[in-house]
Structure 1
Amino acid sequence: MLTETSTQGDDLTTQFPSTARGAQLARRHAVRWMEGLGHPPASDVSCTVALVVGELAANAVQHGRVPGREFGLRLTVDRAAVLVRVEVDDAASTKRLPATLPSSCPEGESGRGLLMVDVLATRWGSAPRRPVGKTVWAELSLEPPVFPSLE
């Protein structure tokens, strides 16, 4: 369940419970927001935003959860730069992103999420959040990818 939502123009700020259900709701909320901006749910742009929001929200729940604290989702469109910025805040100050991307065993069940974010995002990173916690962010192109012809 959403606890707080603020929408101003091309910005959305929402809080979710730090649970698996909260991460799922964050992804769904992002898809609806993208649809409101003219990007249908099945579009490449909306699917990319959904994947990144889902991954960052799941990481906030799994690695940044502090009992009794929610995680925040902020989506911002920069029309001049033709991108959407995804920010996920959590309350865990002591848990930072790894200095290098993890190398995952092909048979492993986890460890590929940040690799996926790295591939899909124009750029991404993290920053400390005041008074506590951190923000993990990713910037994604609003222009659909151009794939070369296979002919």
Structure 2
Amino acid sequence: MTAPTSREFLTALASGKGVDRVSVHLASTASSVGEARRFVEKQLVSWGFPPGEDLVQRVVLTVSELATNAVLHGRANPSAEDELIEVALVLKPDFALGVAVTDDSNAVPLTPASPSVTATHGRGLVLVSALADSWMTAPRRRHEVSRGKDVWAFFRCRETSVALSRTA
């Protein structure tokens, strides 16, 4: 059985029926990356995913990479001006978990490439590609104006959603 495509994941998670969604807005600063990780881990545990489980660790690391990219590369305003990023989790039990990090830049992330062994950066999307079942970027629309983007990562979660159905 092949993994769903990013568009198939997004379509299923956007349907609304049987989908839980939570999000948080954070300052576009380096300290917010840790806040994003803690928010995601706490939410996953509240949904019934065991702390320390492989899926939880992969999602938290993915959010860390996406939030770091948003803070480093996703600003649309000068650094002296306040700006926010959004971290959202969308869960459809027995199917998938989606994570989206939103920033205000319209710049599309570059296709992941293998950085040199001595490179000090450039591994974020390579890691996301390795950790998630798929990922994608989409322009963000606010008030009929395209401003910023969502960078999504998707994870199949059939095996862990069993714990969720027992707690419901």
Residue 83 of structure 2 aligns to a residue in which SS? coil
User: Letter of the aligned partner of 2:108 in structure 1?
Assistant: R
TM-score by length of 2: 0.74
- The answer as to 2:136 corresponding to 1:125 is yes
How far 1:102 sits from its partner (Å)? Answer: 2.1
- Say how many residue pairs are matched: 133
Cα deviation digits, residues 124-148 of structure 1 (max 9, x gap): 010111131011001012247xxxx
1:30 to 28, 32, 40: 40
Contact 1:45 1:141 in 2 (8 A): no
Shift of 1:41: 2.6
Structure 2 unaligned spans of 5+: 1-18, 161-168
**Kindly, what percent of the aligned residue pairs are identical?**
35
**What is the RMSD computed on CA atoms of the aligned residues?**
1.5
**Mapping of 1:75-114 within 5 angstroms?**
75-81=89-95, 83-93=96-106, 95-98=107-110, 100-114=111-125
- How far has the Cα of 1:77 moved from its partner? 0.6
Q: CA 1:43/1:80 → structure 2, altered by over 3 Å: closer, same or farther? A: closer
Mapped to 2, the partners of 1:106 and 1:38 lie a distance apart of: 38
TM-score (norm 1): 0.82
State the match for 2:9 in structure 1: none
Match of 1:148 in 2: none
Residue 103 of structure 1 and its aligned partner are, at CA, apart by: 2.3
Are the counterparts in 2 of residues 128 and 134 from structure 1 also a CA contact under 8 Å?
A: yes
Contact 1:71–1:88 (CA under 8 A) maintained in structure 2: yes
SS of corresponding position for 2:130: helix
Task: Name the SS for the 1:24 alignment partner.
Answer: helix
Which is richer in helix? 2
Give the distance between the partners of 1:120 and 1:87, measured in 2 at CA.
14
For structure 1, which runs of at least 5 residues remain unmatched after alignment? 1-8, 145-151
Distance 1:80 1:141 in 2: 8
State the distance in 2 between where 1:16 and 1:40 align: 25
